[in-house]
Structure 1
Amino acid sequence: MTDPKLLSGLSELREARRACRGLMWSAAFFSIFVNLLMLTGPLFMLQTYDRVLGSRSEATLVALFAFVAFLFLVMGLVDWARNRLLTRLGARFQAKLDRRVFEAMLKKASMNQERGEGSKMDQQLKDLEAVQRFYASPVFSSLFDMPWAPIFLIGIAFFHPWLGMAAVAGGSILILSAVFNQIFTKTAAVKSAAASYVSDRYSEQLQNEAETIRSLGMQSNAFEKWSKTRNRALEQSVSAADKGGSFSNFSKTFRLFMQSAMLALGAYLVLLGEITPGVMIAASILLGRALAPVETVVNQWSTVQRAKRGWDSLVELLATVPADAVQVELPRPSAILDIQQVTVVPPKGRQATLRLLNFNIRPGEAVGIIGPSGSGKSTLARALTGVWPLSGGKITLDGAPLTQYHPAKLAQYIGYLPQKVSLFDGTVAENIARLSTNYDDERVVEAAKKAAAHEMILKLSQGYNTPLHAISTELSGGQIQRLGLARALYSDPVLLVLDEPNSNLDNEGSTALNNAIKSIKDNGGAVVIMAHRPAAIKECEKLLVLEDGARRAWGPREKVLSEMLTNFQAVRKTVNANTNTPGGVV
């Protein structure tokens, strides 16, 4: 890992792994006894063939067998304890990173959504789980056993040099098999993972748009398009499985062959009188034990590859999205908002959608932001809530830049109603309380009343305890928007940012919206409204007109509207004067 940009992410993962160091050293300690006790079988065979059969002593056989049974019991318990340690090692590693990865994914997803790239949250959660499963898998415990393989091979060489050379040759071939497995299956595994991801993403998109697909009769076309991505993923998966399976099959077959070859060589040396029959059997068993970890690694190489891809993906994620800095908690601010020379370039974008913007808001004011689609209204909303970083300038709340507030605290001070309101699995009350399960009942009801949603909620089957995942599709757009408004008001914000708040509201909802705006202003708060419809700016004292990301007009509402109307009439007269039809329509 030589890229300096990725070092911070790599450092975080290594820090989480260091937190599990105690468990790892304990597993290594248990591995010493596991591997020493693995000698029980070869030594028992050696003693049985050379001592018991030679002396024909039943007492010796019974004593040896009892001792061996005890050693195998101890070995089983020690190996069981080691596996439990490794399972907890993986769980602790995941627990150390769960919150950090989750917050990084949310932050990255909020930036990618506007560009239609998707959040990849499910994929990145699987990346963390892949690393966790690797630590708890047999292939990781085999890594503790592999250093013992040379010791076992040396032990075979002590029996006879020819046996040692045969064992080393067989072990070398298996190691080369593992190396070739890595080289030849890496590309196939990456292609398979990429194709599967594309197929899963397209399938998810089709599920989300099922209503549109069915209503427009797009099922057959959608299936054909999805089938192509599915077949491509299946082909890549089969190709990767074939390559990995070939190496796994070779390693298994070759290990069994080597044990038989060791028996054959041992038998030949017995015939020459250079070793005893017990040594022949013990050498074969010892070779199997020496090669077993290598075979496990080869057979489960897909687990190693998946964990490696997951590790690299997490490194990139954590490096791209640094952890939030520890902030000194500032007191509750006043609704004094200053926007100074603000320039915003969307994440991964190349062109600024807001340029050198200046305006301010004071307590008790409501400011309307108007302009054509694509003028930068939603970009400004994301900048005001801290979702998108600034490329230039600064935004201060009560004199402090937004970056000096912890994101969780900033969300309490700035309520946000996005254009598209999403409801989450949980009760109505939990959705209003921003998914908190330990919410304040009075604050939930108060927020719902301010959003004119209280009566609507009471009509639901279980009131505030109604599970939304079951009925959310039955709610109208206006009802969903009222719940979103209640959620924005739950924290009693000092600043309320509304992005097209009345796009789905009826007259009652629009009246409730205006009443909520009045209430915030009367309590010393401020409101910013991105609007297309005139009803949304009824309570606004000031207007900001955006065009191509720049400020076109700013000032008192009536003055700005009159200036825009004057300009419109002047343009209309000019156009009419240049047309052949008097009074032509613009």
Structure 2
Amino acid sequence: MSQPGFFARSELTRVLWSFRREFFMVGIFSMVANVLMLSPTLYMLQVYDRVLMSRSELTLLAMSLITLFLFAVMAFSEWMRSRVLVRSGLRLDALLGTRVFNASFDSYLGQQGSGPARAFGDLIQIRQFLTGQGIFAFFDAPWAPIYVAVLFFLHPLLGWMAIFFSLVQVALAWFGHRHTVAPAEAASRAASDTGAYLQAKLRNAEVLESMGMVHNLRAHWLRRHTGTLGLQSQSQSLAHRITAWSKFIRYSQQSLALGAGALLVIEGQLSPGGMIASNVLMSRALAPIDMLVNTWRMFINARSAFGRLEALLGQYPEDDPSLKRVAPTGGLVLRDVVASAPGRATPILKGVSTAIAQAQVTVVLGPSGSGKSTLARAMIGIWPGVAGEVLLDGLPIESWDRAELGPHLGYLPQDVELFEGSIAENIARLGEVDSAQVIAAAKSAGLHEMILRFPKGYDTPMGEAGGMLSGGQRQRIGLARALYGEPVLVVLDEPNANLDDVGEQALVRAVHQLKEAGRTVVLITHRPGILAVADRLLILQDGRVQADGPRDEVLAALRAQQQAQAQAQAQAQQHAAREAQAGQGGGAVAPQAA
């Protein structure tokens, strides 16, 4: 069966189209439930206009039993449609949960999104709308004309009253959407920004407390918080006014419908049973519209969430699961790599080219701000906005499936983040713990003896160990995580920044072991003590390659350059001294000549 073009326009709409059978079943159950909603009206008409006149108890009993049966069928239909939607919500989450997580993570890594939390919030919003009371309003609304038609059958005045109040409710819903959506969204964004601002600052609570900065932070937060309260107050005030008008219209409709029915009874155009039934019927006819008014905001939010999620999945398509590559060997080539950052006018890396062979140890040197950390991230394919080519075994690194490539890469960033779980789980990259490989990685990082001194050893939770770990120990756990699983390409960004002499010796041993095992190592550092393990040196200056080649050749070239600069500086100083002496001599002769 071919799918309509509209539903084939995106991945998200295709997933929702796959639920057409479930929505069709909900529509059938909604039809049964709404038709049977006429049962109370018919029952009241028969009781007031027939049973009370005939005084027949048998008729009353039969009608009551039939009505109870119809009520049971109606309740069963209501329950079944709710059950179908709940199961559909679970299946929707199963179909899209992993996909949304991967796409949102890629977006966050590319600094183009707000992360998995926002994407999952959008998915939850769509699921709640499709499985909650809001969707029932859309299934019940098409049956409102049937109730209005019955009201016209009872009397045209009652039908026209129902149409009038329907139009009033629709106008109120349009007015509410037009005037409340923008203020509510502005208040929501302001509250989110204020919370994120405070959360980010509280990560440095020790710095704030130690230097007495809490009062100043409170002042900054209070200005943001006050602005947020003002926006929320404005939004809520308008929403409350609209809610008050909605209640006024609803209560007026109920009373005026009863009054109109009473007038028709007085004039002999309607029976007392019809008066009571018409009041109930009009309330039922306007109930879906009233529910649409109350859930319209939910529908708008779900539609916005749908648009964001649709764009996210379209921008980050799913990788082809059939695409499998041979495990890489670690050869890395960079060709004219230019790396930029949002809000920065000039690129961080400006045409960097280099080739790193398998089993080589390359040390990257350069002053702060020269682009070393950006180069490390570009090498493993996690820096957004990279132009040029980063080739791993001759293939663009972005073409690799990250789940497939990840075990073959080791990366230690400057800021080491350890995750919730045990020390072993952190070293094992939160995957299945291979005890032998965990211990081997810990020994390579010089951590094994230290970990064994903990009461629970490798099973010590990071929550307990975090307070007992120094910066150097945390960095060595990060190093062990980078070495876990024998990766073929290891990129270490300032791995010895927080290490003492013992830790640096362990680092040197680990690099030697990687080299002997045929692994490719890129080591970024400020400290020259690690140069002894280097095969190649790459020196960055202002985002450009200043020198690149075998270690001894680069060092010899740098020494020659420094000597030449020292000689030129010495010659310049001598020349300046001779000129100064000549000037002083000329100044002494001049007065005598005068």
Equivalent in the alignment of 2:178: 183
Moved more, 226-235 or 486-495: 226-235
Are 1:173 and 2:133 counterparts?
no
- Aligned mate of 1:255, from 243, 250, 254: 250
Total equivalences in the alignment: 571
Are 1:475 and 2:498 counterparts?
no
Q: Which amino acid aligns with 2:450?
A: M
Residues 425 and 124 from structure 1, CA distance in 2 versus in 1: closer, same or farther, beyond 3 angstroms? Answer: same
Distance 2:343 2:401 in 1: 24
Residues 426 and 333 from structure 1, CA distance in 2 versus in 1: closer, same or farther, beyond 3 angstroms? Answer: same
Q: Deviations over 1:121-156 (max 9, x none)?
A: 433332222222222221221111111112211221
Equivalent in the alignment of 1:27: 26
Are 1:296 and 2:296 counterparts?
no
Moved more, 10-19 or 138-147: 10-19
Q: Which amino acid aligns with 1:74?
A: V
Moved more, 259-268 or 320-329: 320-329
Q: Deviations over 1:552-574 (max 9, x none)?
A: 11112122123223333443454
Residues 286 and 118 from structure 1, CA distance in 2 versus in 1: closer, same or farther, beyond 3 angstroms? Answer: closer
Q: Is the 8 A contact 1:545 1:553 kept in 2?
A: yes
State the secondary structure of the residue aligned to 1:420: coil
| Residue pairs, 1:78-93, within 5 angstroms | 78-93=77-92
State the secondary structure of the residue aligned to 1:538: helix
Equivalent in the alignment of 2:137: 142
Residues 235 and 95 from structure 1, CA distance in 2 versus in 1: closer, same or farther, beyond 3 angstroms? Answer: farther
Equivalent in the alignment of 2:586: none
- Aligned mate of 1:163, from 140, 158, 163: 158
Are 1:362 and 2:365 counterparts?
no
Moved more, 283-292 or 570-579: 570-579
Equivalent in the alignment of 1:448: 442
Equivalent in the alignment of 1:4: none
Report the Cα offset of residue 350 of structure 1.
5.0
Residues 228 and 122 from structure 1, CA distance in 2 versus in 1: closer, same or farther, beyond 3 angstroms? Answer: farther
Distance 1:292 1:8 in 2: 31
Report the Cα offset of residue 370 of structure 1.
0.9
Distance 2:115 2:108 in 1: 8
Report the Cα offset of residue 240 of structure 1.
2.0
Distance 1:41 1:453 in 2: 77
Distance 2:50 2:181 in 1: 51
Residues 167 and 27 from structure 1, CA distance in 2 versus in 1: closer, same or farther, beyond 3 angstroms? Answer: same
Residues 492 and 305 from structure 1, CA distance in 2 versus in 1: closer, same or farther, beyond 3 angstroms? Answer: same
Q: Which amino acid aligns with 1:281?
A: I
Residues 244 and 23 from structure 1, CA distance in 2 versus in 1: closer, same or farther, beyond 3 angstroms? Answer: farther
Are 1:518 and 2:512 counterparts?
yes
- Aligned mate of 1:424, from 405, 419, 422: 419
Distance 2:484 2:290 in 1: 59
Equivalent in the alignment of 1:563: 557
Q: Deviations over 1:2-26 (max 9, x none)?
A: xxxxx99971221232233332222
- Superposed CA RMSD: 2.4
Q: Is the 8 A contact 2:186 2:231 kept in 1?
A: yes
Q: Which amino acid aligns with 1:270?
A: V
Moved more, 158-167 or 325-334: 325-334
State the secondary structure of the residue aligned to 2:455: coil
State the secondary structure of the residue aligned to 2:10: helix
Percent of aligned positions that are identical: 38
Q: Which amino acid aligns with 1:87?
A: V
Distance 1:175 1:398 in 2: 63
| Residue pairs, 1:358-397, within 5 angstroms | 358-388=353-383, 391-397=386-392
Equivalent in the alignment of 2:587: none
Residues 276 and 425 from structure 1, CA distance in 2 versus in 1: closer, same or farther, beyond 3 angstroms? Answer: same
Residues 175 and 58 from structure 1, CA distance in 2 versus in 1: closer, same or farther, beyond 3 angstroms? Answer: same
Are 1:498 and 2:492 counterparts?
yes
Residues 125 and 217 from structure 1, CA distance in 2 versus in 1: closer, same or farther, beyond 3 angstroms? Answer: farther
Q: Is the 8 A contact 2:366 2:539 kept in 1?
A: yes
Equivalent in the alignment of 1:549: 543
Larger-Rg structure: 2
Equivalent in the alignment of 2:101: 102
Q: Deviations over 1:5-63 (max 9, x none)?
A: xx999712212322333322221121111111211111111111111111122222222
Runs of at least 5 residues in structure 1 that lack an aligned partner in the other structure? 1-6
Residues 245 and 70 from structure 1, CA distance in 2 versus in 1: closer, same or farther, beyond 3 angstroms? Answer: farther
Report the Cα offset of residue 406 of structure 1.
1.0
Report the Cα offset of residue 93 of structure 1.
2.5
Residues 285 and 575 from structure 1, CA distance in 2 versus in 1: closer, same or farther, beyond 3 angstroms? Answer: farther
Report the Cα offset of residue 69 of structure 1.
2.3
Q: Deviations over 1:311-339 (max 9, x none)?
A: 23323433444433546211122232222
Distance 1:571 1:24 in 2: 79
Distance 1:327 1:405 in 2: 12
Report the Cα offset of residue 527 of structure 1.
0.5
Q: Deviations over 1:214-245 (max 9, x none)?
A: 11112222122212222322222232222223
Equivalent in the alignment of 1:243: 238
Moved more, 503-512 or 573-582: 573-582
Residues 247 and 381 from structure 1, CA distance in 2 versus in 1: closer, same or farther, beyond 3 angstroms? Answer: same
- Aligned mate of 1:269, from 226, 240, 264: 264
Report the Cα offset of residue 515 of structure 1.
1.2
Residues 458 and 8 from structure 1, CA distance in 2 versus in 1: closer, same or farther, beyond 3 angstroms? Answer: farther
Distance 1:290 1:539 in 2: 82
Distance 2:313 2:446 in 1: 42
Distance 2:265 2:16 in 1: 50
**TM-score normalised according to structure 2 size:** 0.90
Report the Cα offset of residue 344 of structure 1.
2.5
Q: Which amino acid aligns with 1:147?
A: P
Distance 1:10 1:177 in 2: 34
Moved more, 215-224 or 84-93: 84-93
Q: Which amino acid aligns with 1:535?
A: G
Residues 520 and 24 from structure 1, CA distance in 2 versus in 1: closer, same or farther, beyond 3 angstroms? Answer: same
Q: Deviations over 1:200-225 (max 9, x none)?
A: 11121122121211111122221222
Moved more, 83-92 or 135-144: 83-92
Are 1:52 and 2:51 counterparts?
yes
Are 1:123 and 2:122 counterparts?
no
Report the Cα offset of residue 479 of structure 1.
0.9
| Residue pairs, 1:323-334, within 5 angstroms | 323-326=318-321, 328-334=323-329
Q: Is the 8 A contact 1:248 1:295 kept in 2?
A: no
Report the Cα offset of residue 576 of structure 1.
5.7
Q: Is the 8 A contact 2:181 2:297 kept in 1?
A: no
Distance 2:198 2:73 in 1: 51
